[in-house]
Amino acid sequence: MSEITLVEAVTQALAYELAHDQDVLVFGEDVGANGGVFRATEGLQKRFGSDRVFDTPLAESMIAGMAVGMAAEGLKPVAEIQFLGFIYSAFDHIVSHAARLRNRTRGRLSCPMVIRAPYGCGIHAPEHHSESTEALFAHIPGLRVVMPSSPTRAYGLLLAAIRDPDPVIFLEPTRIYRKIKQNVPDDGQALPLDRCFLLREGSDVTLVSWGAMLTETMAAAHTLETQGISAEVIDVATLKPLDMDSIIQSVEKTGRCVIIHEAARTCGIGAEIAAQLAEKALTSLIAPIQRVTGFDTIVPLYKMEHLYLPSEARILTAVHEVMAFE
């Protein structure tokens, strides 16, 4: 079995569902003939036909509206928004219709749609191509928000998202699209949604992160090990709904927590995790929770991008602060 990248795992999952479920459709800007801007849908139109994998006009509002209508009629649309920073014109359909359809119809209709979007910075692109606004969607009742951090999780979580009866925002970190390779069996086995993944066991501090930031977080955990600090690493994976039970269980063991995300600091998912830890596990904490995040600015262009992203050094500084707290 050959190793594949995260973007290839996305392609593999889409192909599996297209082959095994005739209700699945894939569409978006340039996803058909060109295979998408990152080639996540490369070869799918040729294999499954232009009635199942097709291009749309440059109109994100229309793409989301089409997906809602298809899902309401029993299809399983997988719509691609070319970059997360382009999704805002589609926000009305996602929030006002997709997220509310089950409640609005008192369960008579559901909305089994997935909106995929490349996410985050680190590829030296302009500002709208580098957004990390997952918290906008996590705030909306009725939406699931999922972000893989490896090829294995991209494959399994995307399968689960397509099979879910409710709308899922599936964010794919562009910075690690081709950075990591893993053996990913094409066996159609989904991974559970709404669950954290324990990537590394530890006893001194809990590191909580998701998406591309797991790269720096795991590197920091390995460095800490050489310094005699045992770090437990949790991949949140499903940002909404949060699996706080797993995070709390870890913090009850370690007594310390550092949360790492590349999104802006204020009102980020890290703030919600910290708030819930304060509510439900305060007596287990032996040091204040630390957050290592992006800044409350637009992502700076090109040469300054690395200054915006949390680094291994910043994570190590935060860990040393919680370890030194008395």
In angstroms, the CA 132 to CA 148 distance is: 14
Strand partners, 198: 234
φ/ψ (deg, to 5) at 156: -70, -40
Strand partners, 178: none
Amino acid (one-letter) located at 62? M
State whether residue 48 is helix, strand or coil. helix
The DSSP output letter for 185 is -
State whether residue 104 is helix, strand or coil. helix
Contact at 8 Å (CB) between 143 and 167? yes
Q: Which residues contact 20 (CB under 8 A, 6 or more apart)?
A: 188
The DSSP output letter for 298 is P
In angstroms, the CA 140 to CA 72 distance is: 19
- Measured on CA atoms in the order 300, 306, 312, 316, is the torsion positive or negative? negative
CA dist 223 to 126, 137, 172, 236, 315, Å?
32, 34, 27, 21, 11
Annotated catalytic residues are: 129
Q: Cite the DSSP H helix spans in 120-243.
A: 134-138, 151-163, 214-226
Question: How many CB atoms lie under 10 A from the CB of residue 59?
Answer: 13
Contact at 8 Å (CB) between 206 and 248? no
In angstroms, the CA 182 to CA 228 distance is: 29
Structure tokens of 151? 């090829």
Three-point CA angle 96, 101, 104, nearest 5° = 95
